[in-house]
């Protein structure tokens, strides 16, 4: 079996930090590390290559660039390169397209087409990529390569509303060729991340890569699980080797969806499974993320990093043997069995805390209502329905049924019980001298677990009350009000526990990461805010039902929490908001111009019609497909539109899309 390259992937996503990098370089001692990837502030406009560009040739764009920030980025990244090069290790920089500063589209109008979408096949865009690369290597000639992502950027590359005009495979192939050829000419590495949020993203990116690979040389980096680092997804079926490319498996060490390093998340068994999957596919490189949002693995459960190292270099080793080896060299003899038990219990805790029946609850480090509504998790609170309409939500297991609110509450009670059990054990066990750090970080993370599990349980109780009251058509939402008040009391108490915590001693020095981010900021204040927002959402939804439902065969309140399960969509593509006191769902956005909302509605017995209620603050034009028949529509003066529905059996299948430059929004869709 070949020996794969091992890359440590750092600063996800944080500012560039040379002091942290210097400490990481020291921490390579005892590990085989062949290269580094740096994410840095890649989600910002001044991220990736744009972190270093002043755009001096474009005055309007340059005026919107923070010159001091750019110069600081150049200096810091230069120091990062120097630290890595001091041990002869290359550094690859993450970059996303399409990203550009405000004002550039005015100076380069050829970047946009008539629909306001990016002209991805135009020469203006190709020239802009070459400009970015040229200017970057003028100021950072020692940069060793670029890792390119074609999603989660300012403008869409593969989610365009007109696939005929911008065939995704051709667009990807063109962009990849430009990067690959420009970097090859400079003797630099180029890596394409195949990362996507739906299966079609992977198909499009890999199809384009296959075209580009016929003429250009590059590497392909694919996540070990599809979409994101969710341990309850299958291993990634898109981890494929394309002729003319090398294959990298991107893995997570800290646990992006397991608490961001704030909770005990040893995942040795999963890590061994992932490495074996990569070995089955003969990957050339393992890319291992070591941090998230300011929490480095070095201050947490280092056994995860050790597990990657051992599993990669010894194909026959088991997870149990890895745990025993680590315990032998790191655990106090008197607490060895307890620590082994706690290591396995941590995963059971997070499984019941940050997930509902293995479905992802939160897509941001601090919960935000917008993204809770975007992620599909609210569909889980509808009792005993299948989730097939959630197939565009990668964090939802759409081939399953919802467990029911009673089962969800039971799961959260179990999480609290696990957290409190092991916090009590670690905080009362007699401590063996010489192993202080092993006790300290466990006690901190298990207290974090108590706080997180209890806070999330309060949130879940409130959402359950929301659904219960809505089912009873209670205009006041009395049970919801009661649960919100109880939740606020609990969150206030938990805040006192969080504030008493001391910072975890850091093995990485004083760096700019949000080291030991306050549990108050991560969980407690966000949930207190969300509880208040649930009250507002409830009243808005109740008003909508009263306004739109009477006299209908069926009614979908498009942006309503209790109707989340009825609105099929892509993750982050069609957000729900409150506008003028009513819920709306906006169809598509700049990152997902091809966003849609799909629903299945009761068909009137003898045919009938479907009526759409639009929001006047958004576009008046839209496209709808009803039972396979597409129609371009415009709302009337009352912001309504009707279409006939044919008689028949089975549901009316409806899909809403944009039509033109702007995006429409819908209050409700009804059949009559």
> What is the residue extent of each domain of the chain?
5-329, 342-538, 554-671
- Integer Cα distance of 191 and 243 in angstroms: 15
* Top-confidence range, 111-120, 151-160, 483-492: 483-492
Q: What's the pTM? A: 0.95
From residue 63, how far is each of 26, 55, 134, 511, 559 by CA, in Å? Answer: 40, 9, 20, 30, 38
CA angle 215, 216, 219 (to 5 degrees): 140
Q: Which pLDDT value is given to residue 515?
A: 42
Residue 647: phi, psi to the nearest 5? -65, 160
Q: Which pLDDT value is given to residue 128?
A: 97
Residue reference for tokens 């982050």:
572
CA angle 524, 528, 529 (to 5 degrees): 120
Residue 5: phi, psi to the nearest 5? -70, 145
Q: Which residue has the higher pLDDT, 510 or 659?
A: 659
Q: Which residue has the higher pLDDT, 112 or 611?
A: 611
Please tell me what DSSP assigns to residue 607. B
* Non-local CB neighbours of 196 within 8 Å, separated by 6+ positions: 151, 158, 202, 204, 205, 227
Residue reference for tokens 């526990």:
497
* Non-local CB neighbours of 95 within 8 Å, separated by 6+ positions: 42, 47, 48, 49, 146, 147, 148, 149
pLDDT at 514 over 90: no
Strands 91-96 and 145-149, sheet pairing: parallel
Average pLDDT of the residues of the chain: 95
- Integer Cα distance of 558 and 666 in angstroms: 6
Q: What is the mean pLDDT of residues 526-532?
A: 97
- Integer Cα distance of 451 and 213 in angstroms: 50
Q: Which pLDDT value is given to residue 504?
A: 56
CATH number corresponding to 554-671: 2.60.120.260
pLDDT at 511 over 80: no
From residue 284, how far is each of 3, 194, 410 by CA, in Å? Answer: 8, 15, 44
- Integer Cα distance of 191 and 203 in angstroms: 17
The answer to whether domain 5-329 has CATH 3.20.20.80 is yes
Q: Which pLDDT value is given to residue 587?
A: 98
pLDDT at 53 over 80: yes
CB 409 within 8 A of CB 244: no
- Integer Cα distance of 663 and 621 in angstroms: 8
Q: Which pLDDT value is given to residue 590?
A: 87
CB 207 within 8 A of CB 172: yes
Q: Which pLDDT value is given to residue 407?
A: 99
Q: Which uninterrupted H or E stretch holds 582?
A: strand 582-586
Q: Which pLDDT value is given to residue 517?
A: 58
Residue reference for tokens 């403008």:
155
Q: Which uninterrupted H or E stretch holds 142?
A: none
């Amino acid at each position: 079996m070949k020996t794969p390259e091992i890359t440590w992937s750092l600063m996800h996503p944080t500012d560039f930090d040379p002091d942290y990098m210097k400490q990481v370089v020291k921490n390579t001692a005892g590990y085989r590390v062949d290269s580094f990837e740096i994410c840095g502030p890649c989600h910002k406009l001044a991220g990736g290559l744009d972190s270093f560009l002043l755009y001096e040739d474009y005055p309007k764009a340059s005026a919107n660039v923070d010159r001091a920030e750019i110069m600081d980025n150049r200096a810091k990244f230069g120091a990062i390169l120097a630290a890595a090069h001091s041990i002869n290790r290359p550094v690859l920089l993450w970059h996303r397209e399409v990203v550009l500063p405000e004002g550039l589209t005015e100076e380069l109008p050829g970047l946009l087409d008539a629909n306001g979408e990016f002209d991805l096949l135009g020469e203006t865009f190709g020239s802009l990529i070459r400009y970015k690369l040229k200017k970057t290597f003028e100021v950072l000639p020692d940069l060793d390569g670029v890792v390119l992502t074609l999603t989660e950027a300012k403008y869409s590359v593969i989610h365009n509303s007109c696939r005929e005009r911008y065939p995704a495979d051709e667009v990807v192939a063109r962009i990849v060729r430009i990067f690959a050829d420009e970097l090859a000419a400079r003797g630099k590495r180029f890596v394409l991340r195949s990362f996507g949020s739906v299966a079609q993203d992977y198909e499009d990116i890999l199809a384009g890569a296959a075209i580009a690979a016929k003429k250009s040389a590059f590497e392909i980096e694919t996540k070990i699980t599809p979409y994101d680092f969710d341990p309850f997804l299958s291993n990634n079926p898109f981890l494929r080797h394309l002729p003319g490319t090398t294959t990298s498996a991107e893995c997570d060490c800290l646990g992006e969806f397991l608490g961001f390093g704030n909770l005990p998340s040893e995942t040795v068994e999963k890590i061994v499974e992932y490495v074996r999957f990569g070995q089955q596919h003969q990957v050339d490189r393992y890319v291992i993320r070591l941090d998230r949002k300011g929490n480095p693995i070095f201050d947490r459960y280092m056994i995860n990093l050790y597990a990657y190292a051992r599993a990669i270099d010894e194909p026959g080793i088991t997870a149990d043997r890895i745990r025993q080896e680590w315990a032998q060299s790191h655990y106090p003899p008197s607490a060895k069995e307890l620590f082994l038990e706690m290591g396995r219990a941590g995963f059971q805790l997070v499984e019941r805390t940050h997930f509902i029946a293995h479905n992802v609850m939160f897509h941001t480090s601090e919960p935000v209502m917008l993204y809770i509504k975007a992620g599909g998790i609210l569909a889980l609170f509808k009792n005993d329905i299948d989730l097939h309409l959630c197939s565009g939500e990668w964090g939802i297991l759409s081939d399953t049924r919802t467990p029911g609110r009673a089962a969800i509450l039971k799961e959260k009670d179990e999480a609290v019980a696990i957290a409190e059990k092991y916090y009590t054990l670690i905080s009362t066990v007699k401590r063996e001298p010489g192993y202080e750090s092993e006790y300290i970080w466990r006690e901190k993370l298990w207290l974090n677990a108590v706080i997180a599990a209890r806070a999330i349980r309060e949130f879940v109780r409130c959402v359950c009350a929301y659904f219960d009251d809505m089912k009873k058509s209670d205009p006041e939402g009395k049970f919801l009000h009661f649960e919100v008040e109880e939740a606020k009391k609990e969150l206030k108490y938990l805040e006192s526990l969080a504030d008493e915590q001391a910072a975890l001693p850091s093995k990485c020095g004083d760096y700019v990461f949000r080291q030991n981010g306050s549990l108050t900021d991560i969980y407690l204040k966000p949930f207190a805010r969300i509880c208040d927002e649930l009250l507002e959402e409830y009243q808005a939804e109740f008003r909508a039902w009263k306004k739109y439902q009477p006299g209908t065969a069926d009614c979908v309140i498009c942006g309503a929490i209790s109707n989340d399960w009825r609105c099929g969509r892509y993750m982050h593509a069609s957000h729900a908001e409150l506008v003028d006191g009513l819920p709306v769902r906006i169809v598509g956005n700049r990152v997902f111009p091809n966003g849609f909302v799909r629903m299945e509605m009761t068909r009137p017995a003898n045919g009938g019609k479907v009526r759409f209620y639009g929001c006047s603050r958004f576009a008046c034009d839209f496209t709808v497909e009803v039972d396979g028949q597409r129609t371009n529509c415009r709302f009337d003066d009352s912001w309504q539109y009707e279409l006939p529905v044919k008689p028949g059996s089975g549901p009316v299948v409806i899909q809403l899309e944009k039509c033109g430059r702007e995006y429409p929004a819908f209050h409700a869709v009804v059949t009559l």
